[in-house]
Structure 1
Amino acid sequence: MKSLFSEDAYDEILNRLNQVDKNSTAEWGKMNVSQMLAHCQFPLQVALQELRLERPNLFKRTLFSMFKSSLYNDKPWKPGLPTSKEFIVTSEKEFSKEKEILEHKIKAFHSEKHKTEWPPHPMFGEFTSEQWGKMQYKHLDHHLKQFGV
């Protein structure tokens, strides 16, 4: 799996993001393109410690640990996977604003590429720097594919 910390993957994601426009339509799922751009900001905000999520109970943490590696392994996610309730976007969003914010978050995350210690993810626990980079790439790749880029 590529990592958002690598220059090639970072450039690729930004280039693909620039191919999305306000008329892009989803090949699957319920979000429109503006909602997808807002949704993609959340995992980056968690990594950057700009968004605090409530830590789930022990049962849910145990359940989440069973599929933790799917967040950063090489196996693509299937279209239409359920979304964490904290990351669901149903309100209308302004395309250019959300795209600009997402681009800023991607750049901010990439700038952390030399960081060696990361706080634990509130739902999944510890990740290495490599896993954080792969996880962010995989999420963005999934949603850019959702909109045909």
Structure 2
Amino acid sequence: MSEIFTEEVMQEFFLRIEELTIEQEPSFGKMNAHQMICHCTDFFRMAMGAKKALEYGNVDPNEIKAAARQGKTVQTPKGFGQVEGNGTKPTDFEEDKETLKKFILEFMQLPINHEFAPHPYFGNLTKEKWERLAIYHLNHHLEQFNV
């Protein structure tokens, strides 16, 4: 998968999101498909500053990167855990899927010099780094539900 959010990458994610059903079981993790959709939308809310974590800088970014490279579960920033009830609450599955797609589109259209909110683990990131993280995150969670 590309590391840059192109139109083609966005459309591929949209198709995969459309394949999701509320009944799909995860191949790993504790979130259900509906919670995962809201969790992924919260990622974009965080990047754009609309949702803030409850703490910043308390996790070693190198530990996060190492866990991700090894395919291990990465700690969710405090305030974003769906299972713990801290993420955006799921409402209507199809509407929440559309909301995720809306946020992906908005994120992709931001200018290269957009001032993003700091990431709770990695601090200030460029658009390129946010894009790489977004692609990794979306792909990880869509694979979680085999789409």
TM-score (norm 2): 0.80
- Secondary structure of the residue aligned to 1:66 is helix
| TM-score in terms of structure 1 length | 0.79
**Aligned positions, number:** 140
Deviations along 1:106-147, one digit per CA (max 9) or x if unpaired, are 1111111x3324335142212122111111111000000000
In structure 1, stretches of 5+ residues that fail to align are none
In structure 2, the residue matched to 1:101 is 99
Identity, in percent, stands at 26
Report what 1:34 is aligned to: 34
Q: Does 1:121 align with 2:114?
A: no
5+ long unaligned stretches in structure 2: none
Residues 70-100 of structure 1 show CA distances to partners (whole Å, capped at 9, x for unaligned) of 39xxx75625433223211135733123212
Give 2:74's aligned residue.
81
1:5 is the counterpart of 2:2 = no
Counterpart of 1:66 in structure 2 is 62
Deviation per CA, 1:58-77: give whole Å up to 9, x if none.
xx2xx433246x39xxx756
Counterpart-to-counterpart distance in 2, 1:67 and 1:6: 29
Conservation of the 8 A alpha-carbon contact between 1:27 and 1:147: yes
RMSD: 2.5
Matched-pair contact (CA < 8 Å) for 1:29–1:79:
no
* SS class of match (1:12): helix
Give the direction of change, closer, same or farther, for the CA distance of 1:7–1:127 in structure 2 (3 Å limit).
same
Shift of 1:54: 4.2
